[in-house]
């Protein structure tokens, strides 16, 4: 039984389910959506984009405090486990659904596999950090994405025979969907590219990789922004610093900001106007449209863990508006850097990157970030 609770989980579960379906003699799989984060339109778009089947089971727990949400998930999930009696529960990431379902299954003697295990920010004020630690310490199998995760688990006393370094399943989804980027119209709609005439030739700087050679003539003169963490959007003083920085950056280059409804509400509560010279505020996007914007951006500003990883694979400079990251490999690869939630710090870091016009050479990619992580996971599971 695979567990999803929020949109980042979808991208991680999809390649595992796809690979597992190749072995019907070994696996009978069910997909359960807790409904921790659920928007009918957005979820439908994501499921269609990444070819994830509709959930077999939907709990519909909704939002609430961390305690309320976790308790509702555990109560609802327990009855599902009594009914279906799965051999394994597979959880991904670090949301409340991950931890709640892992604990519930473990207490019923059902084996748990945690995909994306061992990541640590060493910041206990992050709810995700608590979820990661608890899930890792009850799971029977831990699938890691980078060497630092293995080291963290070893230091915490997790038996080595439970830990498998398999790579990053979110990169599996990225690799699978990259060829579809060239067919998206989002950049044309926003006026970020123009159709290429037959006589136009693309310069070497435009041949970033095999995908961009198939794209129309375009400019990379824009910055893509995504923000959602409470530490940034729930504190008006921090949100104001970020907004003023984005407005200043938009004086020099377009800034594209798909805003989640919750973040938009925080702007309204703080009475902030989220308009600017070239600050384009969009509704939330499907994964393919967002991937298209990310793939051709000069710079991505985010507080998302998954986007740090995706920009690392794509070789796109990323500024993470946080004091720490649980994905240190993205820093080591040279694509990602942390930046303080301060107007001047964010502006200075952004302009320093924009002056260099993206990375001049494609950095090396982390080990096993090759689109085959799900294959390694299934190989391990078939041995049990």
Distance CA 190, CA 168 (A): 31
Helices (H), the chain: 7-20, 40-49, 66-84, 96-107, 127-138, 147-155, 169-177, 186-189, 230-233, 236-250, 261-269, 287-295, 305-314, 328-332, 343-355, 373-381
Mean pLDDT of the chain: 88
Position 253 pLDDT exceeds 70: yes
Least confident of 163-167, 232-236, 354-358, 371-375: 354-358
Return the number of other C-beta atoms located less than 10 Å from residue 203's C-beta.
7
Three-state SS letters, 101-151? HHHHHHHCCCEEEEEEECCCCCCCCCHHHHHHHHHHHHCCEEEECCHHHHH
* Mean pLDDT of all residues in 76-102: 98
Position 42 pLDDT exceeds 60: no
* Mean pLDDT of all residues in 130-137: 98
* Mean pLDDT of all residues in 294-303: 94
pLDDT > 70 in the chain, percent = 88
Q: Is 114 assigned a catalytic role? A: no
* Mean pLDDT of all residues in 132-155: 98
Position 207 pLDDT exceeds 50: no
The domain ranges of the chain are 2-168+369-381, 175-355
Position 208 pLDDT exceeds 90: no
Distance CA 245, CA 167 (A): 35
Helices (H) and strands (E) in the chain, counts: 16, 13
Candidate ranges 42-46, 149-153, 246-250, 261-265; pick with highest mean pLDDT? 149-153
The per-residue pLDDT for 36 is 80
Displacement of CA 107 from its chain's centroid (Å): 29
Indicate which residue of 66, 84, 154, 228 is catalytic. Answer: 228
* Mean pLDDT of all residues in 15-21: 97
CATH fold of 2-168+369-381, please?
Answer: Rossmann fold (3.40.50)
Return the number of other C-beta atoms located less than 10 Å from residue 334's C-beta.
13
Pairing mode of beta strands 255-258, 318-320: unpaired
Helices (H), 38-110: 40-49, 66-84, 96-107
Q: Length of the chain, please?
A: 384
The per-residue pLDDT for 310 is 97
Least confident of 1-5, 74-78, 360-364: 360-364
Position 198 pLDDT exceeds 90: no
Q: Check if 2-168+369-381 and 175-355 are the same fold.
A: yes
| Superfamily name with CATH number, domain 175-355 | Glycogen Phosphorylase B; (3.40.50.2000)
| Residue 159 confidence class, pLDDT cut points 50, 70, 90 | very high
* Mean pLDDT of all residues in 213-231: 71
Distance CA 370, CA 380 (A): 18
Phi first, then psi: what are they for 229, rounded to 5°? -70, 135
Least confident of 149-163, 196-210, 352-366: 196-210
Position 370 pLDDT exceeds 70: yes
| Residue 243 confidence class, pLDDT cut points 50, 70, 90 | very high
| Residue 185 confidence class, pLDDT cut points 50, 70, 90 | confident
Position 110 pLDDT exceeds 70: yes
Position 203 pLDDT exceeds 50: no
Q: What is the pTM of this model?
A: 0.90
* Mean pLDDT of all residues in 331-338: 95
Position 200 pLDDT exceeds 60: no
pLDDT tens, position by position, 260-271 = 877 888 888 888
């Amino acid at each position: 039984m695979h567990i999803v609770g929020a949109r980042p989980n979808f991208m991680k579960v999809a390649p595992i389910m796809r690979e597992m379906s190749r072995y019907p003699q070994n696996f009978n799989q069910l997909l359960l959506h807790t409904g921790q984060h659920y928007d009918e339109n957005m979820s439908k778009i994501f499921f269609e984009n990444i070819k994830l089947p509709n959930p077999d089971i939907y709990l519909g727990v909704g939002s609430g405090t961390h305690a309320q949400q976790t308790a509702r998930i555990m109560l609802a999930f327990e009855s599902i486990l009594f009914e279906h009696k799965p051999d394994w529960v597979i959880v991904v990431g670090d949301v409340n659904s991950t931890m709640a379902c892992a604990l519930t299954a473990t207490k019923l003697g059902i084996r748990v596999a945690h995909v994306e295990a061992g990541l640590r920010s060493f910041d206990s004020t992050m709810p995700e950090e608590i979820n990661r630690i608890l899930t890792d310490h009850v799971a029977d199998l831990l699938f890691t994405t980078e060497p630092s995760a293995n080291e963290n688990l070893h230091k915490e006393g997790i038996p080595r025979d439970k830990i498998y370094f398999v790579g990053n399943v979110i990169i599996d989804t990225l690799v699978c969907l990259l060829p579809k980027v060239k067919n998206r119209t989002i950049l044309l709609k926003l006026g970020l590219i123009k159709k290429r005439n037959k006589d136009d030739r693309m310069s070497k700087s435009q041949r970033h990789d095999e995908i961009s050679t198939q794209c129309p003539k375009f400019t990379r003169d824009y910055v893509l922004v995504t923000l959602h963490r409470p530490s940034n959007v729930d504190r008006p003083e921090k949100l104001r610093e970020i907004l003023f920085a984005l407005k200043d950056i938009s004086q020099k280059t377009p800034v594209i900001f798909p805003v989640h409804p919750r973040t938009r509400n925080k702007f309204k509560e703080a009475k902030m106007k989220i308009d600017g010279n070239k600050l384009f505020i969009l509704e939330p996007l499907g994964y393919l449209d967002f991937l298209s914007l990310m793939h051709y951006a000069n710079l991505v500003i985010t507080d998302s863990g998954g986007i740090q990883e995706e920009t690392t694979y794509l070789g796109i400079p990323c500024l993470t508006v946080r004091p720490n990251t649980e994905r240190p490999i993205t820093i080591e690869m040279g694509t990602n850097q942390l930046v303080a939630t301060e107007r001047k710090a964010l502006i200075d870091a952004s302009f320093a990157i924009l002056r260099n016009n993206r990375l001049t050479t494609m950095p090396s990619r982390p080990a096993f970030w090759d689109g085959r992580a799900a294959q390694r996971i299934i190989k391990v599971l078939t041995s049990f």
